[in-house]
Structure 1
Amino acid sequence: MKLSLALIVVFINGIFGFKVLGILPFGSKSHFAIGHAILKSLAEAGHNVTSISPYPLKEPMENYKDISTEDYVEVFFKNNAVNMFAFENTPIVNKIMELIFIYWINRNGNEVVKYHAVHPKVIEFMNTYEKFDICFMEIFNYDALLGIAEHVGCKVISYTTTAVVKWADDMTGNVSPPSYVPRPYVQYSDKMSFRERLMNTFYAHIEDIVYEFIIKPNQRRLYEKYFPNATKTFDEMYKDTSMIFMNTHISLTAPRPYLPSFVEIGGIHIQPVKKLPKVFQNFLDSATDGVILFSMGSVIRSYQWPVEKREAFVKVFGKLKQKVLWKYENDTLPNKPDNVMISSWLPQRDILAHPNVKAYICHGGLLGTTEAVYEGVPVLGIPIFGDQKTIMAKAVTRGYGLQVYFKDVSEETIGSALDELLNNPMYKENAKIISTRFKDRPMTPQQSVVYWTEYVHRHGGAPHLKAAGNDLDFIAFHMIDVYAVLFFGGISFIFINYLIIKWIFMKFSGKPKKTEKKNEKKLKKK
């Protein structure tokens, strides 16, 4: 019965479905995964989807059209061909509050805009003057491409591939109190000490200033340069986001303020388990004592580990009774133990679903940790940059993971952490509890995307969900003008009262005035 109703809904949407444009230009496959999952959900619901991205579908899908900029993938990885471990090797003076990461985002955002705004296929698409109802775009500092959304006349829904960031707050008037909402790139949980609250507040205000006076003006200039015929200004488009889908879930984060226009869709990228290639299936099935999965994601290369730290892993793994499946991008691993299997590519989601997987060693990226939580697998994180430190801090405080900082990686620290994770049942139990919470929701992430997208369309962009704070400028929103008046007003009040009290005291104290004292001195001299 439910299947029949679902088919009817899809059929109706196929007839009356609206047109959706996805602007997904970033070169990282993990970022594309979230945007693609959103668009795929809408296409399956019967809506007509067009996607501008560097990752065209390998298998064509009904109602889904690609405008491919796949040549950008090579450019992206060429521009970012750095050893990501360098983030942790940078002297502290050069990475205060992870400014190096903010700079990296800003630089890449600018390059994304410059490349895609003049891409022949994007220009060709815009010259058709085709109109769309809804546009999706990730919030990741290439906001100037909102010019494409303006050109096709659609309502904008944004999404984040991480937890809520400063830029999402800035677009909507949402607030993230630094007293208990850690910045995405720090290693704090929601329960902070005084020192951590002090530093988190400092980071938050620096980020406000950098974003307001450096990043946003850069995007404004690019918007005006590449979309000179736009009828709406950059700021009008920037503040006109109807809704924000967040790649998070309360089970993985912590309670905090959200506007009604913020919707959690954490786990939308998780697909049904597929059959594993035979080589992996045999390896996992034969691991009677269990398997440890080790992957540092798609951007960080395991072969770039400093030799002494790589050797620490090799030595620890060689002493384990468990097998280890290691995403390692070189063909050979020096001194590889017999219980270790290396591969440059791993079907991570499907491996984590295997019952013999006992632990997951990772960099703390949100997609991978979400997949682990979904399957109830405890994690050992080695965060390197970005939001990875915050994600792992939350895993530690919620008891389903441990972390070792990059600088502390050694045979002793990794061995101790794995021994604790594998032999203390608390971590597995907590991982299962979090998994149950994660799955317990009224709608699947896919259903949430379809419902709320259709809601925005039905209600003309859902302006009733927008906060009045979204109409305020930087000074008014942060109450700078109010605090200035209170400060100077308070100073003036104190000073005036001081003069009044001084006058009263001199008037009624019986003490001679200064002029009288001077006259007396003159008389004495005479």
Structure 2
Amino acid sequence: MLVKLLICGALIFSQSVYSAKILGLSTSPSKSHTILAQALFKKLAERGHEVTMVSPYPLQKPPSNFRNIPMKDVKKEIFGMSGHNSNEYLLEYNKGHYTRIKKVYDHGYNQSRLALEDPQLQNLIHSNETFDLVICTVFMNEVLFSLADHYKVPLIGFSTLVSTEWTNNLLGNPNPYAIVPDLFLSYTEHMSFFERLINTVISICGDLWYHNIHLPNQEKLRQKFLPHTKPIWETLKDVSLVFLSSHPSLTDPRALVPNMIEIGGFHVDAPKSLPNDLQKTLDDAKDGVIYFSMGTNVVGKDLPESHRKALLDAFSKLKQTVLWKWEDDKLPGQPKNVKISKWYPQADLLAHPNIKLFITHGGLLSTTEAISRGVPLIGIPVFADQSLNMAKAQTSGYGIMVDYYNVTFESMNWALNEVLNNPKYTENVKLRSKVLNDRLVPPIEEAAYWVEYVLRHKGAPHLQSARKDLNIFQYLLLDILGFILMVAISICLLIYFVARKVTNFFREKGNHSRNKKKKQ
């Protein structure tokens, strides 16, 4: 215990000798990404650094040394370009693997372009302001990394996901297809032969698209908006460190290079007091409460009518109170035991002892908060890593996954009764909660330490892996195997031709001897 306290104290008080000016970029249209980034940026401000955050979602009640640079609504513009509501837009990613890869990277290009076109960011770029460090979320937006070269400062990446091809490529982190499923597949680390085959093909296709289509498109954006900076392929090699929103209790354990730091759960603080009316609702629910939210990207009011009816029919059969994050003033067909609100303080709400179940889209932010608070899950995945996260929950016994296209009264009624009446789900998630919260130091303190470590050591180049300088052929030793194969074939051919020559020599000599005897 004494050792833990000493290490924790060292991390807390090992601040840099000066107050650094830090530029934080969280330009993703996904609000959940910014919620995570804000937790890190706010902590750095509390430690005395001057933080400037560029984001469509400004931090409410920021510290005095925290400056918001609010962007236009990127999410609204991207969805507007698609001609769909948010749910339809996200569901389009599930129409086959080729469509998924294309739409994912189209999304990355559009969000990067809209960010660089934003007048607020352009004003900052063309001002005389300087910074000591750039921290940028990693989400198919590599062109924004060029701002670190613009300011000639170190660069830290912040991923709201587990290690992915986007982060692995930055630091040369190993990504074995045999045990690391693609972000969009509902596989775990234990894959069958055919799952490994599918995972390998999809992962290779995604990697080829990333290097041959996505990065060249990002480079075109750099040439247009930041032409004075280095080519993007060189900037990607300058990433000092990447934070991951993962942890072995949340996702599969993975091999990580030393400058890839897992801080999953860092944003979950000690629970704060709830609003009086919400506190009363939770306290008075003698049979418990079920919380239902589809996150910040999936809009509940845009669910198909058949889904809404199936959910409400299933909820009406329950004795528990259901709190539904519903983005409208009215919920048609609302049963008496269902209460709605456009917003709930999710992490604090989940900490209440009367919460029995969390129905979620399965995003990493939500699943992390549920595990931290020890609440079992029913997941209805829609997009990105949500199926991956819920597959992990299901195989680990703390949740059930319901396919979005199979949301019926029967499927939801079964899932609700299974999780509510089978104690294994609660027992398993509470065990996971203990693992997640059993840390040497609080993860937010660890994150702050590594930011200041990079500042102190001028980008910490000593942490860089040589893997990032190797292409895929060199890393997989395909060039070596090709050389060995070429040498082996050459030796075999040499042996073959020598043996043939020797055989022909003795055959000719034998024929000559026989002919000589015949003549005699």
TM-score over 0.5 for the pair: yes
Change (3 A) 1:54 1:280: same
Distance in 2 of aligned mates of 1:511 and 1:187: 70
Spell out, residue by residue over 1:362-401, the C-alpha distance to the aligned partner (whole angstroms, 9 max, x if none): 1110001111101100001111121111111111122211
Residue 521 of structure 1 aligns with which residue?
Answer: none
Residue 96 of structure 2 aligns with which residue?
Answer: 95
Residue 45 of structure 1 aligns with which residue?
Answer: 47
Change (3 A) 1:467 1:287: same
Distance in 2 of aligned mates of 1:227 and 1:90: 32
Query: For the Cα contact (< 8 Å) 2:38–2:59, is it kept in 1?
Result: no
Spell out, residue by residue over 1:215-256, the C-alpha distance to the aligned partner (whole angstroms, 9 max, x if none): 1111112112211122x3322211111111101111111222
Residue 419 of structure 2 aligns with which residue?
Answer: 421
Other structure's SS at 1:412 match: helix
Other structure's SS at 2:96 match: helix
1:116 CA drift (Å):
2.8
Residue 337 of structure 1 aligns with which residue?
Answer: 335
Distance in 2 of aligned mates of 1:194 and 1:297: 34
1:496 CA drift (Å):
4.7
Identity of aligned residues (%): 39
Residue 518 of structure 1 aligns with which residue?
Answer: none
1:81 CA drift (Å):
6.1
- 307-316 vs 72-81, which moves further: 72-81
Residue 389 of structure 2 aligns with which residue?
Answer: 391
Matches within 5 A, 1:45-444: 45-79=47-81, 82-83=84-85, 86=88, 94-96=95-97, 99-230=98-229, 232-444=230-442
Query: For the Cα contact (< 8 Å) 2:45–2:65, is it kept in 1?
Result: yes
Change (3 A) 1:485 1:14: closer
Q: Which amino acid aligns with 1:95?
A: G
- 78-87 vs 146-155, which moves further: 78-87
Residue 514 of structure 2 aligns with which residue?
Answer: none
1:86 CA drift (Å):
4.5
Distance in 1 of aligned mates of 2:291 and 2:179: 33
1:502 CA drift (Å):
5.2
Change (3 A) 1:485 1:86: farther
1:14 CA drift (Å):
9.3
Residue 517 of structure 2 aligns with which residue?
Answer: none
Distance in 2 of aligned mates of 1:343 and 1:246: 31
Spell out, residue by residue over 1:136-160, the C-alpha distance to the aligned partner (whole angstroms, 9 max, x if none): 0111111112222211121001010
- 502-511 vs 111-120, which moves further: 502-511
Query: For the Cα contact (< 8 Å) 2:267–2:444, is it kept in 1?
Result: no
Distance in 1 of aligned mates of 2:509 and 2:402: 72
Q: Which amino acid aligns with 2:96?
A: K
1:115 CA drift (Å):
2.5
Query: For the Cα contact (< 8 Å) 1:11–1:46, is it kept in 2?
Result: no
1:498 CA drift (Å):
4.6
Change (3 A) 1:490 1:393: farther
Q: Which amino acid aligns with 2:37?
A: G
Q: Which amino acid aligns with 2:295?
A: G
Distance in 2 of aligned mates of 1:354 and 1:474: 49
Spell out, residue by residue over 1:183-239, the C-alpha distance to the aligned partner (whole angstroms, 9 max, x if none): 111100111111111111111111111111011111112112211122x33222111
- 108-117 vs 287-296, which moves further: 108-117
Residue 33 of structure 1 aligns with which residue?
Answer: 35
1:474 CA drift (Å):
4.3
- 274-283 vs 185-194, which moves further: 274-283
Residue 477 of structure 1 aligns with which residue?
Answer: 475
Change (3 A) 1:7 1:498: closer
Query: For the Cα contact (< 8 Å) 1:129–1:151, is it kept in 2?
Result: no
Q: Which amino acid aligns with 2:235?
A: M
How well do the aligned residues superpose, as a CA RMSD in angstroms?
Answer: 2.9
Query: For the Cα contact (< 8 Å) 2:93–2:103, is it kept in 1?
Result: no
- 457-466 vs 299-308, which moves further: 299-308
Change (3 A) 1:24 1:439: same
Q: Which amino acid aligns with 1:53?
A: S
Change (3 A) 1:14 1:174: closer
Query: For the Cα contact (< 8 Å) 1:292–1:322, is it kept in 2?
Result: yes
Residue 522 of structure 1 aligns with which residue?
Answer: none
Distance in 1 of aligned mates of 2:80 and 2:146: 26
Query: For the Cα contact (< 8 Å) 1:13–1:46, is it kept in 2?
Result: no
1:471 CA drift (Å):
1.7
Q: Which amino acid aligns with 1:291?
A: V
- 6-15 vs 118-127, which moves further: 6-15
Matches within 5 A, 1:426-465: 426-465=424-463
Change (3 A) 1:497 1:359: farther
Distance in 2 of aligned mates of 1:512 and 1:331: 103
Aligned residue pair count: 507
Spell out, residue by residue over 1:253-277, the C-alpha distance to the aligned partner (whole angstroms, 9 max, x if none): 1222100001111122223323323
Distance in 2 of aligned mates of 1:310 and 1:112: 31
Distance in 1 of aligned mates of 2:55 and 2:103: 20
- 395-404 vs 102-111, which moves further: 102-111
1:85 CA drift (Å):
5.2
User: Any unmatched runs of 5+ in structure 2?
Assistant: 512-520
Query: For the Cα contact (< 8 Å) 1:181–1:190, is it kept in 2?
Result: yes
- 442-451 vs 274-283, which moves further: 274-283
- 422-431 vs 332-341, which moves further: 332-341
Q: Which amino acid aligns with 1:212?
A: H
Matches within 5 A, 1:512-523: none
Distance in 2 of aligned mates of 1:51 and 1:28: 15
Change (3 A) 1:508 1:72: same
Distance in 1 of aligned mates of 2:34 and 2:57: 7
Query: For the Cα contact (< 8 Å) 1:10–1:45, is it kept in 2?
Result: no
Query: For the Cα contact (< 8 Å) 1:56–1:70, is it kept in 2?
Result: no
